[in-house]
Chains A and B, each alone.
Chain A
Amino acid sequence: MSNAWRKKLIEGIDFDDVEFYGNLGFKCGLEIHQQLDTKKKLFCRCPVGYRNDEPDAIILRHMRPTLSEMGTYDGTALMEFKTKKQIIYQLYRGNVCTYEMDDTPPFPINQEALDYAIEIALMLGCQLVDEVHITRKQYLDGSIPTGFQRTAIIGLNGWIPYRDRKIRIQQLALEEDACREVQDKGHTIIFRTDRLSTPLVEIVTKPDMHTPHEAAEVDELLGRLLRASGRVRRGIGSARQDVNVSITGSDRIEIKGVPRTPDIRPLTHYEALRQKALLELRDKLHARGITEQTLKATCHDVTKLFYDPQERKRYGIPDDADRVNAVNLVGWQGLLKHKTQPGLTFAAELAGRVRVIACLDRMPNILVLDNQTEGKLHGETDVPVELEEHVRKAIGADKNDTLVLVWGSVEDVKTGAEEIIIRVKEAAEIIPQETRQHMVDKCRTDFERILPGPDRMYPDTDSPPEAISKERVVRIQGTMAPKPWDREKEYAGMGIPAHLARQLAIHPNARFFDRLVGGISINPRILAEALVEWHRAIAREKLAAEITADMPDEQRLERFFISAGKNRTPRRALYCTFRLLLHGLYTKDAEPPAPLSTDELKSLCEKVIAERKDVRYKTRKLTLDFLLGEVIDQSAGRAEPEQIISFLENRIPSFQPAV
């Protein structure tokens, strides 16, 4: 997908147009998944890791739906079962044990992870549960070998401040991460188990965001809060977000795995428009008298019409398709051309279901025959009218009917045709609750699966409930990081500029800064600069391989800044010595130097003036600047520039033009 296409989809849209989205009834909620920075996994003692090498072993499994605790089957579970997938798991000796393979029951829950989850729940102002109950959340897509994710609510009903209002946090759950999908082709799906069972928190907001822009901003805000906690993992795949969108007249649709925060804007925008389009399609159907009850859709085996390979070619049907079915949608003429997303029509909704549920994933996987309708439909194949007539006659379709061809193995085609009928029935009544995945342009979405409901929850009979004691909460509150927005305000009050305060508020060194800043006489702004900007700049310097820019331990660092305060080390001298410290080139007890005394400065200036008496610039200012630079260099930053300038100005009172 070209950048020009994406640009065209985004350009000129005001994603914060309150009136436009208000009229749509746009509502958006977030589900943020963030891995916790624990040493071990949540229910076993495997180290958390990320692998890209050859797996040490593989296993094959299948999933079957089971009953929920309330005695019902979950819709998604049944859908996943229809796909009849062979699920392959890649195993790694170093990061996976028999627990992840579902060959050993869970060990007691990781207490470090539970502490972190409680801490983050407290930061979000949640009501903590008194007793943690581990629940199994079914996932039949194979992403977890047990077929369920072990998850537990830690806190409920929190909130964060945003635009003078509260964004409500519905819940925070502690759960184990799923596998990474490596490949999904036909009836085989391959998963890598490295990150499986890594502890993560799932934060669910209420649908309190009213524009796509708000959704993106709140996502960023929550991301900042999580980083401020100092308890979360960074790096590839460590944070993922799902976004829920609804408009007036629709139920929520989940967009799964939005890659980057800014993508939330176009994705939610076009999803809202898709929902609007589906509601319009429903009205069109009703206007034709087509409802869920009256809708007529029939399935016909038309394989015999496609025995001739030449004929097949003209339709774009591959030779290895054993069966071709035609689904006749009575009275649907033209409606599959109803636009749903930029460049996509309702036919894409059918193709998505067929691709996922019937595993017919060679695209195009359906062909629409829509009597005399101009132009291309989904599948981009033009079918000559006389060919179409051939099929219509064979199954006795009326000219007002639309036909959908689907092909593949006998079993898959049967499933595919059933899914088409299910989807068109839904179109006459509701917007089906789906999980959708973003397409490559990160603006449009495609069907991923039916949205799971509460029926997929089941108590984990392998794990006992665990009470959260008062002592535990008090202990955690004692070391809890302040919220980033509170920190920012506090830092601003110390005279730290806004951009720096914003960075420091979520920086790993923030806790150290908070502890140090009150007790030493160093300027908070310089301390913040050192811990955030200098550290980053020094770490980026390209140096010999044996020199690193690791932060020394906190005690050493603390001694360093205490003496810097005591010695009133000038900013520039502090930078130089901080750099040496980070490079490990500084002797153990060395201190940042004190500034030069007036006499020392005076004699240094005299020395520089004498050495450079032959240097002349066009203006007096340039000459002064040059001398200033020389003095700063030779003093290793131990004098403040203002002090040097005032001395030099007295010493070189008049303009001496260049020779």
Chain B
Amino acid sequence: MNEHDKLKGYKGKAREVLESMGTRVWADVEIETDKGIYEGIILPRAEQADDLHIVLKLETGYNIGLAVHAIRSIKEKAFREAHYKIPEQEFPYDPIKLNVTLLGTGGTIASRLDYRTGAVIPAFTPGELYGAVPELADICNLKTKKLFGVFSENMGPEQYIATAKAIGREIEAGVAGIVIGHGTDTMHHTAAALTFMIQDSPVPIIMVGSQRSSDRPSSDAAFNLRCACNAAAHGSIAEVLVCMFGPTSDAYNLLHRGSRVRKMHSSYRSTFRTLSDIPVAKCTPDEVNPIKKDFRPRRKDKNVKLDAVFDDRVAIVYYYPAMKPDIIESLIDNEYKGIVIAGTGLGHVNKPLYAPLRKACRMGISVMMTVQTLWGYVQMFVYDTGRDLMELGITPCSNMLPEVAYIKLGWVLAHTHDREKVAKMMLTPINDEITEREPHDGYLIFQGGLPEVEEFLKGRLR
């Protein structure tokens, strides 16, 4: 089925009927069925839907489905193909404003409807963005470059490397800041990758996405984009940062360090949180207010350390109580070079895994231990289990998040496979993926329902 299919999305019986009636999608028709007459435009059908109905858009704008078996005749009156397109306007250039480049990777930051799947697909040009969010022109001169158009879950090493290189080129070209549009599901993986691949950037590198696609009036996309462009153009923090909603209200965004951030809710707007630390800054479309004092400030030069490599023979193993040795065995058999374990508690796995883990270490595989509690440090000296595991050759990764450890291990393994060197690189923080201290408020999950919490939250924008 191609883009120019006259019966887009229709299959089986429905397709047969439409074909036999000599009609097509976008035809403005009068349909006679056993129940009566219907008038409207035949719409394309989602591919996953059944082959027993056709979709009709009525004059009122409503869509309905009609059973094909009851159709007696279809009379085509006109043909009205829809062109779903955000109005494109040339993004204005103002010589006194700073230049920002928006690199597009996909995601819902700008999107349009896809009839084939019935889902929203990314759409992206500077003109479209300006058409949708004209306020951006008050902040900066925006240039956009589409790197790829993939959903978040399809981002991988190849894309990390291409993105890092593109960022390097933009920095050399002298932009004031970079914004990266990204789907939210794996934004924290990419944020970690970019943290390691682009070090000592002179300008902010701001990752942004949206939790409500921009085809919704309540979308967070426009606010996120404005905050991100402002942080990129005017912010003083030259790091890889994730810029997403602070609360679920349209109030302010937070800038999270790319090495300590994680998506924590499947659908909430304020899904991104800094773990075991506090966010770097609070921001709005007008200003960036640092919360942390220690950050890498913006510089005037164009120097950057680009180190865009990745070895993808790395796996992350989320330990569960009855895990069998064959899970580890299969990684060994498939020639993986690195394993990150998300262990229980302070960093533990059960005894039956000792043998395959020992084998893995002996065969030169780097095995890292992190905690599935997400908050807190790996501490393998407290219990015998931990000491046993260290003897096997497993490296405790302090308070590095499991996903960050996975990304970092892939990046490190592209430099060396020497287990000792790998361990040393893993434990040398590049930008707070390991911190020496966890502040008292680095772990903060309020429990709703407690009177004092409810009192604190009363009247505050959530």
Which chain A residues lie closer than 8 Å to B250 at the CB level?
A: 60-62
The docked-state distance in angstroms from the alpha carbon of A642 to that of B43 is 74
Report the stretch among B57-65, B162-170, B330-338, B386-394 that lies at the interface. Answer: B57-65
Q: Which residue of B lies closest to A80 (CB)?
A: B217
Query: Is A438 positioned at the interface, with any CB of B under 8 Å from its CB?
Result: no
Asked if A280 is an interface residue, CB under 8 A from chain B, the answer is no
Binds A, one of B1-9, B46-54, B147-155, B307-315: B46-54
A171/B267 in contact, CB under 8 A: no
Q: From DSSP, what is the main secondary structure of chain B's interface residues?
A: loop
CB neighbours of B249 from chain A (8 A): 59-61
Chain B: CB-nearest residue to A60: B249
CA distance A227 to B196 in the complex (A): 67
Closest chain-B Cβ to A655's Cβ sits at a distance in Å of: 75
Known contacts A61-B250, A66-B217, A103-B267; decide if A133 and B61 are in contact (CB<8 Å): no
Nearest B residue to A102 via CB reads B218
**Restricting to A108-135, which residues have a CB under 8 Å from any CB of B?**
127-133, 135
- Contact between B83 and A130, CB atoms less than 8 A apart: no
In the complex, whether B351 has a CB less than 8 A from a CB of chain A is no
Determine how close the nearest CB of chain B comes to the CB of A54; give it in whole angstroms. Answer: 9
Q: Is A378 an interface residue (CB 8 A)?
A: no
How far is B26's CA from A71's CA once the two chains are assembled, in angstroms?
13
Q: Is the CB of B64 within 8 A of A98?
A: no
Contact with B along A43-78 (1 / 0, CB 8 A): 000000000000011111111111111110100010
Is A467 a contact of B84 with CB atoms below 8 Å? no
Give the tally of cross-chain contacts (CB within 8 A).
Answer: 156
Asked whether, in the complex, the Cβ of A461 is within 8 Å of the Cβ of B217, the reply is: no
Residues from chain B with a CB closer than 8 A to the CB of A91 are 462
**Which listed residue (B35, B82, B218) contacts A61, Cβ 8 A?**
B218
B212, A128: Cβ atoms closer than 8 Å: no
Q: Given A153-B64, A461-B118, A461-B119, verify A67-B218 contact (CB < 8 Å).
A: no
Are B60 and A457 touching (Cβ within 8 A)? Answer: yes
* Beta-carbon nearest neighbor of A151 in chain B: B62
Hey, what's the 0/1 contact readout for B82-108 against A, CB within 8 Å counting as 1? 111111000000000000000000000
Cα A62 to Cα B49 in complex, Å, equals 34
Q: In the assembly, what is the distance between CA of A146 and CA of B212, in Å?
A: 9
Q: In the complex, what residues of B have CB within 8 A of residue A457's CB? A: 60-63
Say yes or no for A207: interface residue by CB 8 A criterion: no
- Tell me, in angstroms, the Cα distance from A454 to B59 when the chains sit together: 7
Contact at A130–B53, with CB atoms within 8 Å? Answer: yes
Q: Which of A128, A132, A459 has the most CB of B within 10 A?
A: A459
A459 to B44, CA, bound (A): 12
Q: How far is the CA of A312 from the CA of B84 in the complex (A)?
A: 50
Query: In the complex, are the beta carbons of A146 and B462 less than 8 A apart?
Result: no
Is B61 within 8 A of A67, CB to CB? Answer: no
> Of residues B46, B59, B250, which shows the largest number of chain A Cβ atoms within 10 Å of its Cβ?
B250
Asked if B248 and A101 sit within 8 Å, CB to CB, the answer is yes
A104 to B212, CA, bound (A): 10
Assess the B120–A135 pair: CB atoms within 8 A.
no
Q: Is the CB of A102 within 8 A of B55?
A: no
| Contact in complex: B83, A71 (CB < 8 Å) | yes
Chain B 72-86 interface 0/1 with A at a Cβ cutoff of 8 Å (1 = within): 000000000011111
A69 and B113 contact, CB distance less than 8 A: yes
B65 and A67: CB pair below 8 A? no
Is the C-beta of B215 less than 8 angstroms from some C-beta in chain A? yes
Residues of A within 8 A of B119 (CB): 461
- Residues from chain A with a CB closer than 8 A to the CB of B57 are 69
B268 interface hit (Cβ, 8 Å): yes
Contacts of A459 in B (CB 8 A): 63, 113, 118
Question: How far, in Å, is A137 (CB) from chain B's closest CB?
Answer: 8
B459: nearest residue on chain A (CB-CB)? A58
- Closest B residue, CB atoms, query A62: B250
Assess the B269–A456 pair: CB atoms within 8 A.
no
Contact A71 B85 (CB under 8 A): yes
Mark contacts of B213-244 with chain A using CB atoms, 8 A cut-off: 1 yes-contact digit, 0 otherwise.
01111110011000000000000000000000
Report whether B218 and A130 are in contact in the complex, using a CB–CB cutoff of 8 Å.
no
Cβ B53 vs Cβ A465 within 8 A: yes
Residues from chain A with a CB closer than 8 A to the CB of B269 are: 103
Kindly provide the distance from the CB of B49 to the nearest chain A CB, expressed in whole angstroms.
Answer: 6
- Tell me, yes or no, whether B382 is within 8 Å of chain A by CB: no
Q: Are B65 and A465 in contact (CB under 8 A)?
A: yes
**B443 within 8 Å of A (CB atoms):** no
Within 8 A of A (CB), among B441-462: 454, 457-462
With both chains docked as a complex, state the minimum distance between the C-beta of A650 and any C-beta of chain B, in angstroms. Answer: 69
The verdict on A59 contacting B112 (CB below 8 Å), with A64-B222, A133-B65 known, is: no
A131-B461 contact, Cβ under 8 Å, with A104-B267, A454-B60, A459-B113: no
Query: Across the interface, do B61 and A135 meet the contact criterion of CB distance under 8 Å?
Result: yes
Report the minimal beta-carbon distance from B52 to chain A, rounded to whole angstroms.
7
B66 lies within 8 A of chain A by Cβ: yes
B218 CB → nearest A CB, Å: 4
Contacts of B211 in A (CB 8 A): 103
Q: Is A458 an interface residue (CB 8 A)?
A: yes
B295 in the interface (beta carbon within 8 A): no
Q: Is the CB of B35 within 8 A of A171?
A: no
Chain B residues whose CB sits within 8 angstroms of the CB of A147 once the complex forms: 216-219
Residues of A within 8 A of B212 (CB): 102
Indicate whether B36 reaches chain A with its CB closer than 8 angstroms. yes
Chain A neighbourhood of B46, CB < 8 A: 465
| Interfacial chain A residues near B459, Cβ < 8 Å | 58
Q: Which residue of B lies closest to A88 (CB)?
A: B461
Task: List chain A residues, Cβ under 8 A from B58.
Answer: 153, 156
Q: Which residues of B contact A68 (CB under 8 A)?
A: 61
The residues of B that contact A60 with a CB separation of less than 8 Å are 249-251, 461
Q: Are B35 and A128 in contact (CB under 8 A)?
A: yes
A140 touches B (CB below 8 Å): yes
B84 partner, pick from A71, A77, A131, A151, beta carbons under 8 A: A71
Q: State how many angstroms separate the Cβ of A106 from the closest Cβ of chain B.
A: 11
Q: A103-B267, A137-B61, A171-B62 are in contact. List 16 more A-B contacts (CB 8 A).
A: A57-B458, A57-B462, A61-B249, A66-B216, A66-B219, A70-B84, A98-B268, A101-B248, A103-B268, A131-B66, A145-B218, A156-B64, A455-B61, A457-B60, A457-B62, A465-B65
A-B contact pairs, 10 of them (CB 8 A): A60-B250, A129-B64, A133-B55, A147-B218, A156-B36, A157-B36, A453-B61, A454-B61, A457-B60, A464-B49
Query: Which residues on B are within 8 Å of A, measured CB to CB?
Result: 35-36, 38, 46, 48-50, 52-53, 55, 57-67, 70, 82-87, 112-113, 118-120, 211-212, 214-219, 222-223, 247-251, 265, 267-269, 454, 457-462
- Which of A's residues lie within 8 Å of B, judged by CB? 56-71, 73, 77, 91, 98, 101-105, 127-133, 135-140, 145-148, 151-153, 156-157, 170-171, 173, 453-459, 461, 464-465, 467
Pick the 7 closest A-B CB pairs, nearest first.
A131-B65, A147-B217, A457-B61, A454-B61, A130-B67, A60-B249, A133-B63
